[in-house]
A and B are shown apart, each in its own frame.
Chain A
Amino acid sequence: MSDEEAGRERPRSAADRRGRRASSSGSEASGAVTAGKGRPTRSRGESAPKKASIFARLVRFLREVVAELRKVIWPTRKQLVTYTIVVLVFVAFMVALVSLLDWVFGLGVEALFGA
């Protein structure tokens, strides 16, 4: 199952990467640090971003957050419904069990210690 899924996801992420590379090389050099294939060696020092002001670094960080968030695989509608139902069933069961136990134990304690 996992193999199948990985196979399905891969082209999408590859296309994503290609698209990002095309856009980032045009707009900004810092974006290419993660995307460009030959670059990682130079990016390791990270001397360039440290020189930038804190505001610029923050903006860059936020942009990277958004970029990573785009690559997140969210659950499908079907998965979402199943998981929600399972959680609801679990919670309902536990609440019912705990209230039942509390009721029984409460009766017992009342009988033993009650006025």
Chain B
Amino acid sequence: MLSAFRAALTTPDLRKKILFTLGVVAVYRLGANIPSPGVSYPNVQECLRQVEGSENAGIYSLINLFSGGALLQLSILALGIMPYITASIIIQLLTVVIPRFEALKKEGQSGQNKLTQYTRYLTIALAILQATGIVSLANSGALLGNCPGIIPDDSVFNLAVIVIVMTAGTAIVMWLGEQVTEKGVGNGMSLLIFASIAHRIPAEGMNILNNAGPLVFAGVCVFGLAIIVSVVFVEQGQRRIPVQYAKRMVGRRMYGGTSTYLPLKVNQAGVIPVIFGSSLLYLPDLVARLVGNDGGWFQQFVQTYLVDQSNWLHILLYVALIIFFTYFYVGITFNPEERADEMKKFGGFIPGIRPGRPTAEYLNFVLSRITLPGSLYLGIIAVLPNFFLGVTGSGQNQNFPFGGTAVLIMVGVGLDTVKQIESQLMQRNYEGFLR
């Protein structure tokens, strides 16, 4: 494996890509640490220390997870990648509803570009909304548990500057993510989320160690390892559909006649459903905070049922969302008709099934059956730690980075990225990591 690492770094093309990705991560972390203009940095740190020590520290970890601690610090990248995720969920859901979007999606590359453009506009709109909400919360002192003095000069101009800076920060994060997808390794969006989660791990680990003692800490580690192994196990599970290629003569030479397989992963959708589900669950909380602090029935409902991770409604809703998004995302990314057409074009067929429409139907049949256990697995792993919240110590009632969502995202992104590096290595006939 060590030689593979060296090979990855000595290939100039790949080295450039890896270094570029790491550089983007560094830029992202830098932006997450720089405070916004007009925000009093010493006061924020003081307030953060107060919140960490108090009972309700757990409430903030959900919000803080995807922004990597940047949100509560009111840094320039405080909003992180969340508005972009929300926007892409909305746009992708709208492709089913709005005929024009559906037409665009079927148009191919140019239509896809147009949709991406819409996603970006929506991201900016959402970012302005969120930034306004967070700035007003911080200004009233409600963001960090009644701790005033975060924004010393609360003139309208000053507040507007903070909102604009945060919105611009979101645009930068969006751009960084797209750059990684294009020029680096791995999917930029999920890699940035990965970096945010990675930021929280050491602190939360120390938290468990200090609060609950080494025995529980070891238990949590073993539990985390078990989850990692099971995630790897399911991610690698494939349903291989045999595909036979017809022999044909082109000129005097014989082509084809090989038999391969079409791999359908048990979890074809990857980690995207988990990201979508958790960010959608986070929305009502955000809306409730934006509405105000009057403690109406809506806010109370959200607080008791949706924010509290050990609540049965939260767990059920989360699993349902994940299952829905798994089917949804598989439906978006894997098109049986297209695959069947492709196969037909190149003279391939599934033994026992005629090319064309029956093949597409068969693929659809297998895919819809194999996705059910895949989605159930995603849902169960994501909520499993919620049942053990009490074990890891009172006070901070959820250790989010060690929760199922975080582990799923980390392992999924890790596997994806390593596999991409691997396939790049394979192109040059190097031995990869995965031997």
Contacts from A to B (Cβ < 8 Å): 2-3, 6, 9-10, 13, 34, 37, 40, 44, 61, 64-65, 67-69, 71-75, 79-80, 82-91, 94-95, 97-99, 101-102, 105-106, 108-109, 113-115
Q: 12 A–B contact pairs at CB < 8 A?
A: A10-B242, A68-B366, A69-B266, A72-B238, A80-B233, A80-B236, A85-B1, A86-B434, A94-B198, A101-B30, A105-B33, A113-B35
**Which of B98-106, B248-256, B413-421 forms part of the interface with chain A?**
B413-421
Contact between chains at B195 and A115 (CB < 8 Å): no
Contact between chains at B411 and A40 (CB < 8 Å): no
Return chain A residues, CB-CB under 8 Å to B313.
Answer: none
Interface residues of B in 180-200 (CB under 8 A from A): 194-195, 198-199
Q: Does B365 touch A at the CB level, under 8 Å?
A: yes
Contact between chains at B370 and A91 (CB < 8 Å): no
- What is the minimal beta-carbon distance from A87 to any residue of chain B, in angstroms? 4
**Contacts A65-B373, A87-B414, A95-B201 given: A105-B29 contact, CB under 8 Å?**
yes
Task: State in angstroms the CA–CA spacing of A80 and B365 once bound together.
Answer: 28
Q: Does B228 touch A at the CB level, under 8 Å?
A: yes
Task: State in angstroms the CA–CA spacing of A3 and B240 once bound together.
Answer: 13
Task: State in angstroms the CA–CA spacing of A27 and B415 once bound together.
Answer: 42
Contact between chains at B434 and A83 (CB < 8 Å): yes
Contact between chains at B41 and A114 (CB < 8 Å): yes
Q: Does B171 touch A at the CB level, under 8 Å?
A: no
Q: Does B239 touch A at the CB level, under 8 Å?
A: yes
Cross-chain contact of B22 among A2, A6, A97 (Cβ < 8 A): A97
Contacts from B to A (Cβ < 8 Å): 1, 22, 25-26, 29-30, 32-35, 41-42, 45, 194-195, 198-199, 201-202, 228-229, 232-233, 236-240, 242, 258-261, 266, 352-354, 358, 361, 365-366, 369-370, 372-373, 410-411, 414-415, 417-418, 433-435
Contact between chains at A72 and B239 (CB < 8 Å): yes
**Contacts A73-B238, A98-B199, A102-B199 given: A80-B418 contact, CB under 8 Å?**
no
Return chain A residues, CB-CB under 8 Å to B236.
Answer: 74-75, 79-80, 83
Return chain B residues, CB-CB under 8 Å to A34.
Answer: 365
- What is the minimal beta-carbon distance from B354 to any residue of chain A, in angstroms? 7
- What is the minimal beta-carbon distance from B150 to any residue of chain A, in angstroms? 13
B interface: dominant SS: helix
Return chain A residues, CB-CB under 8 Å to B366.
Answer: 68
Task: State in angstroms the CA–CA spacing of A95 and B34 once bound together.
Answer: 20
Contact between chains at A72 and B237 (CB < 8 Å): yes
Task: State in angstroms the CA–CA spacing of A34 and B435 once bound together.
Answer: 36
Return chain B residues, CB-CB under 8 Å to A109.
Answer: 33-35, 41
Task: State in angstroms the CA–CA spacing of A97 and B198 once bound together.
Answer: 9
**Contacts A73-B239, A105-B33 given: A84-B259 contact, CB under 8 Å?**
no
Contact between chains at A44 and B418 (CB < 8 Å): no
Task: State in angstroms the CA–CA spacing of A114 and B434 once bound together.
Answer: 46
Q: Which residue of B lies closest to A61 (CB)?
A: B369
Cross-chain contact of B41 among A61, A71, A105, A113 (Cβ < 8 A): A113
Cross-chain contact of A99 among B35, B202, B239 (Cβ < 8 A): B202
Return chain B residues, CB-CB under 8 Å to A83.
Answer: 232, 236, 415, 434
- What is the minimal beta-carbon distance from B189 to any residue of chain A, in angstroms? 16
Return chain A residues, CB-CB under 8 Å to B1.
Answer: 85-86, 89
Return chain B residues, CB-CB under 8 Å to A6.
Answer: 240, 242, 259-261
Return chain A residues, CB-CB under 8 Å to B32.
Answer: 102
Cross-chain contact of B42 among A69, A89, A95, A114 (Cβ < 8 A): A114
**Contacts A83-B415, A114-B42 given: A75-B237 contact, CB under 8 Å?**
yes
Given contacts A64-B365, A105-B33, A113-B41, 18 further A-B contacts (CB under 8 A): A40-B353, A65-B373, A68-B370, A72-B238, A73-B237, A73-B240, A74-B237, A79-B236, A82-B433, A84-B229, A85-B1, A87-B411, A97-B25, A98-B25, A99-B199, A101-B26, A102-B199, A113-B42
Contact between chains at B30 and A105 (CB < 8 Å): yes
**Most A-side CB within 10 Å, residue of B33, B361, B433:** B33
